[in-house]
Amino acid sequence: MTARDLVLPSFFGDALALGPHWIYDPVQIAAWYPGGIRAYEAPRSQYHPATKAAGDFTHYGDQALALLESLAGAGGSLENWPADWLRWAERIREDKSSYLDGATRGTLQNLAAGVAEPSPSSDLGGAARIAPLLAFHRDVEQLVPLARAQTALTHGDPQVIDAAEFFARAAVSVAGGAGFEEAFDEAASHPYDALPAIDWGTLGRDASSGDLAAKAGALGLGCDIDGAFPITLALAFRYEADPVEALSANAMLGGDSAARGLLLGLLMGARHGAAAFPAEWISGLRSIDAIERALP
């Protein structure tokens, strides 16, 4: 697997989710997309800026791109990430070209008060940014502390930080040839400070069969990790052999589909490579040139 195989599908997952992102009415989503979501769409939620268009990223994808560019500028190191993220956040606060979520606002407020601490946010978005790290680091012992550190810049919730480690470990295993069940079980076997990885893995496996939409709704389609984590695993289990349907199905579930999409795309890229996705998903990314310049 190349850096492109791991990183591009993560961005596909975010961009494909932009249309119905933060829409929680599955009936409405089904009416908008009767054949499923197979192409990028402009956002329908009022939370995203009106300047966002088909092929753009949500604020999660925007931050993942900022991380990729930061890593590229520092030879794969995170040394510039705090300053680069702060510049990104301050620019967005000024030009309003992306959404400032609670984790970003909370972290900025702490910094303004002279407190170098992340927000207490429990959303999955901080962990979801990790794909760019795998463009530069495949050794799991090097990758894990970096995944945890990039997350902890903005998210202080220990479960979110642990989740970044879990998905980093799982992605490396999948890229090395493991199937999802083996990779998730191996990642869950490691001790975590707070993440109930085994229990949530069981929830994800159980939700992957039967009426996935109903089970995902019961788990919670919002931003919080306790729903988003097992739903991401459920989608991976359900659509392991069909990466295009995996990202489409995730977007069709609605809610905070973008954070799930970034991680699901990473896993699907590690399993199948970027060539398994439609060519127009590459050419349709409005930031494709910036991504290609930053990839090693």
pLDDT at 171: 98
Radius of gyration of the chain (CA): 17
pLDDT digits (tens, 9 = 90+) for 266-283: 999 999 999 999 999 999
Tell me: pLDDT of 1 over 90.
no
Q: For residues 266 and 134, is the Cβ–Cβ distance under 8 A?
A: yes
Pick from 147, 139, 130, 237: nearest CA to 183: 237
Residue 140: both structure tokens together: 């799991």
CA 167 to CA 184: how far, in whole Å?
A: 8
What does pLDDT average to over the chain?
A: 97
Which H or E run includes 214? helix 212-219
Tell me: pLDDT of 220 over 90.
yes
Q: For residues 228 and 124, is the Cβ–Cβ distance under 8 A?
A: yes
Chain center to CA of 245: 17
pLDDT at 61: 98
Pick from 117, 133, 123, 77: nearest CA to 103: 123
Chain center to CA of 183: 18
Task: Provide the CATH number for the domain around residue 206.
Answer: 1.10.4080.10
Pick from 173, 112, 93: nearest CA to 138: 173
- Compute the average pLDDT of residues 108-121: 95
pLDDT digits (tens, 9 = 90+) for 183-199: 999 999 999 999 999 99
Q: Using CB atoms within 10 Å of the CB of residue 111, give its burial: 0 to 12 exposed, 13 to 18 middle, 19+ buried.
A: middle
- Compute the average pLDDT of residues 249-260: 97
- Compute the average pLDDT of residues 138-149: 97
What is the number of structural domains in the chain?
1
Q: Which domain holds residue 69?
A: 3-294
pLDDT bin (cut points 50, 70, 90) of residue 42 is very high
Tell me: pLDDT of 130 over 90.
yes
Q: For residues 117 and 277, is the Cβ–Cβ distance under 8 A?
A: no
CA 216 to CA 10: how far, in whole Å?
A: 21
Strand partners, 95: none
pLDDT at 7: 98
